[in-house]
Amino acid sequence: MTTLSTNSTERKPLIKSRALRRFLSHKLALIGTVMVLTLTLACFVGPYLLPYDELYIDLMSRFAPPGTNGHILGTDPLGRDIAARLFHAGQISMAVGFAVMIIATCIGSVIGVISGYYGGAVSAVLMRVVDAFLSFPSVFLLLALAAFIQPGPVMIALIISATSWMEVARIVEAEVKSLRNQDFVQAAHMLGLSNRWIMFRELLPNAIGPIIVAATLTVARAILLEAYISFLGYGIQPPLPSWGNMLNGAQQYLANAPWLAIVPGVAITIAVAGFNFIGDGLRDAFDSRSDLG
């Protein structure tokens, strides 16, 4: 086994360092990294620095505008501190995003590698299923699922994953298909390695670049989708806060308490844009052709 993988272990550090150099010279990617790190830090450390608990209801100070009485981002219709809720919501929304990334990337990789490796009828069937999932507007399918299943953060992550794995599957399938006839795969066959070993130990690691890019973009997508369904009332249920469900009642108070709508929306945009920037930087870093243009 070890002799077989020398080829790839010799190449990898070089690719990695070049990719890392490209990534670091990508301005947007760095900005994205800073945005994501800052937001993560705020969400996990912020709650300890605030004077109010996220569940503390103070009916005497409902709809306090930002800046009053230690409520730096104001209060909501129940007098709860928005900053405290925003940070806790961030923990949940980002946790959902990462969970979806892991689940969807696993599903997509397995289906993609099987389809790409075996080709033929297996591939035809699996890829038609991918096409079928892609012809639903994903929000429709998501809502249909979320409306009839008791939503909790875990369930929401699973449901979003169920509608987010197709992109990875397509990417992995294309990569594996192009690698399948290369010498190192032939060599692995001749050594008598099992199909499973070849698929997951030989082929999949070679597609790691595009997978990482797709995974990063999946986090962004998952945070957005969670916001969509929670905004519509079918996602994370209060009192558990999420960025999406904080916006749920915001529309009716838009005229008098616009901060209810503005604050969580800005947080979502920063998080999603941050992950999109990072994904874009990674794509350029892994794609050797990007040197040309």
Cα distance between residue 178 and residue 137, in whole Å: 30
| Window contacting other proteins (CB under 8 A); options: 2-10, 18-26, 37-45, 260-268 | 260-268
Nearest approach, Cβ of residue 264 and other proteins (Å): 8
Q: Which two tokens stand for residue 153?
A: 């953060």
Question: 3-class SS at 234?
Answer: coil
Residues 1-60 that bind other proteins (CB under 8 A): 28
Give 213's strand partners: none
| Window contacting other proteins (CB under 8 A); options: 10-18, 50-58, 60-68, 143-151 | 143-151
Question: What is the amino acid identity at position 70?
Answer: G
Nearest approach, Cβ of residue 14 and other proteins (Å): 28
Nearer to other proteins, 199 or 227 (CB): 227
Nearest approach, Cβ of residue 224 and other proteins (Å): 6
Residues 203-242 that bind other proteins (CB under 8 A): 220, 224, 227-228, 231-232, 234
Alpha helices, DSSP H, located in 149-258: 153-162, 166-179, 183-190, 195-197, 204-206, 208-231, 243-246
Give 75's strand partners: 81
Give the containing element (helix H, strand E) for 45. Answer: helix 27-49
Nearer to other proteins, 19 or 227 (CB): 227
| Angle between helices 208-231 and 138-148 in degrees, nearest 10 | 60
Interaction site with other proteins (CB under 8 A): 28, 128-129, 131-141, 143-145, 147-150, 220, 224, 227-228, 231-232, 234, 247, 250-251, 254-255, 258, 261-262, 265, 268-269, 272-273, 276-277, 280, 293
